[in-house]
Structure formats: structure tokens, C-alpha cells
Amino acid sequence: MPSPSPTRRYLVIGEAVADVVHPLSGPASTHPGGSPANVAFGLAQLGAEVSLMTQLGDDDHGRLIRAHLAGAGVQVLAVPDPAASGTTTPFAAAYLDHTGAATYTFDISWTLPQVDPPRTPLHVHTGSIAALMAPGASSVRALVEDMRGRSSISFDPNIRPALVPDHDEAAARVEQMVELSDVVKANIAYLYPGADPVQIAQNWVHRGPAVVVVTLGREGSWCATRDGVVRIEPTVVTVVDTVGAGDAFMSALIDGLGREQLLGAAGRPGLSANRAHAVQLAARRASRAAAITVSRPGAAPPRLHELDGAESGDP
């Protein structure tokens, strides 16, 4: 892929969560997590300049997450200030089954006030709890609406049903964000049970996004553009656990599109034009990133040299 642009600056908006992971046997362990925070970390691992607008408490979990993100070079923009507000850091309990798949319980609130980002980024990513949980979801949407004219937008609903009990409200919020986005990645089973995921992806492409990727776990993914729909075969590995796999996919997809100069307000026409081949390359790269992540414990996305090595090792 081409070398990264010097203006490859990303803003991720959303929750950072302490994931307390419970294996089938042995003690639980605590890992930094939260879908948007994982995406920010994954982008930084791939060499991007990244800021994360989030909420963190002045507590042990908050300090763990800050150190984790800072170690990768992510700038943390905590809003409101945890020391002044008494905010506590959200946490989730992840219970692994015999296949390594995780189910979750949560202790999370999301009350992000409306704020201005420090600099205009090339690209803005959001999703998950931040885009769906009131009252903070309204602030996220307002920020995205304001920045859409200056930055490209990506969105991953990454729905946690336990946190969005009103299905119709969640579906409405997702569809509003889809219409504001240039790139969408989603597992749509909760939103549209029984629906054909490929048809949903095609419908969404006609509502705004230039790229919609529907992920299906072990079955790979489908990538829809205005050129049509292409199957992205899964990268086969031995699964340790699935924590953070979708987020690693998302960060690598953004990174790949950025390296192809298809992001940003200036890149939007190229993304929307007949660039299906470049999009497919980015999606296959994202599949490899997810495979590396599931082959080891926790949300541990690949560094750039690992992902480049996985690509160069392909036949």
C-alpha cells in the first residue's frame, strides 16, 4: 500500500471501558477496552496520529486505560475532566465460552457534553455505546454533523443489546448515523433479525455511505460499494478469544483507506467513485488484522510490521 499521508490524523469519539475478562477456568483479568478506544489504539498501532474523545474516571481503571492508550501514542481527550466531575470509568465483564467467544455485562453511562475537537482531523470514527446511549449519543451525532463538511466519517454500531433495550430506537439512531457516514462496518443481526445482510448493505450504500462492510465472524464479510458487492473470505487462524476482533478490523479498514488517500473531505469523491478494488484490498487487510487479534488474548490489534508481514506472507 502507498505510504501514509502526513495529514493522516484521526479523531475517534466514544467510550473507553475496562474489560474484566472471565475465562472458562482460572482467574479473571482486566484489560483496557471499549470499541472506540480499541479502534483508536489499533490505528495508533498502525502508525496513525490519533485522538480519542472519551470519558474516563480518576480511578484505577481510568489510569490503566490512559497508560495503555498513551503507550501507543493516542492522545486522550477526556470530557468532562474526571477530577472535576467525579466521573467513574465504565467497565464490562466479558465471559468466554469454550470457543473463545465473549458475552458481556456492563456498568456504563455516557453523558458526553457538546464540545469542539482541538483540530480538524482527516477522518472521524465513532460507534458502539457512544452513538446509541442517551444523553451522550445526541452530542456525538451533533459533532459528526458539524464535522462532516471537513472530515470523512466512519461508523460501527457494534450494538450491545443489554445497553439498548429499545430495539426500534436503536435502529433509528443507527440509520441516522449511517446516512451521515462515508464508511460503515456492522454486524446487523440484532438490528434486522432474519434479514439478508447483503441486501441491508446494498440498501445502506444507497442511503449515503460509499462503503458498507457487513461482518459475519468466522464466515468472513461482505463489502458493498456503488460498484456492487464482494465477499471477503475470512483469514483462518486458531482462535484464542474474539475480544476486539471487530475493532481491529475497523481500525485496519480505516488505515487502509487512508493509505489509499480515500479519506477526508478531499478524498470523498474518490471513495464514492469506482474504487471498489482499493476498498476490497483495505477490507482484506482488515480481515488479516482481525485474524491476528483473535489469535491472542484480549483486544490486542497488530502493529504495522505484523500486519505488513501477514500480507507479504500471503501466496
Q: Report d(CA 294, CA 100) in Å as an integer.
A: 9
From first CA to last CA, the distance across the chain in angstroms is: 17
CA of residue 312 relative to chain centroid, distance? 25
Q: Identify the pLDDT of residue 312.
A: 65
Mean pLDDT of the region 84-93 = 79
Phi and psi for 202 in degrees, rounded to 5?
A: -65, -40
Q: Say whether pLDDT at 4 is over 60.
A: no
What sign has the CA pseudo-torsion 140, 11, 188, 105? Answer: negative
Q: Say whether pLDDT at 215 is over 80.
A: yes
H helices present in the chain, as ranges: 35-45, 60-72, 82-85, 129-132, 136-147, 167-180, 197-205, 245-259, 268-272, 276-294, 304-312
Q: What is the pLDDT of residues 155-202, one digit of tens each?
A: 999 887 777 778 888 889 999 999 999 999 998 888 888 889 899 999
Please name the residues in contact with 85: beta carbons below 8 A apart, sequence gap of 6 or more.
none
Q: Report d(CA 135, CA 80) in Å as an integer.
A: 14
Question: What single-letter DSSP state applies at residue 236?
Answer: P
The type of residue at 303 is R
Domains, the chain:
9-303 (3.40.1190.20)
Of 18, 11, 79, 99, residue with least CA distance to 48: 11
283-289-293 Cα angle (round to 5): 145
Residue in the block written with cell 482541538: 118
- Exposure letters 193-219 (e unless 16+ CB within 10 A, then b): eeeebeebbbbbbeebbbbbbbbebee
Q: What is the pLDDT of residues 245-288, one digit of tens each?
A: 899 999 999 999 999 999 999 999 999 886 778 888 999 999 99
213-219-225 Cα angle (round to 5): 20
Contact yes or no for 297/240 (Cβ under 8 A): yes
Q: Report d(CA 269, CA 286) in Å as an integer.
A: 22
Element (H, E) at 189: none
Paired with 214 in beta bridges are 186, 222
The overall average pLDDT reported for the chain is 87
pTM for the full model? 0.90
Q: What is the pLDDT of residues 44-77, one digit of tens each?
A: 999 999 999 999 988 899 999 999 999 999 999 9
State what percent of residues in the chain have pLDDT above 90. 50
Contact yes or no for 151/264 (Cβ under 8 A): yes
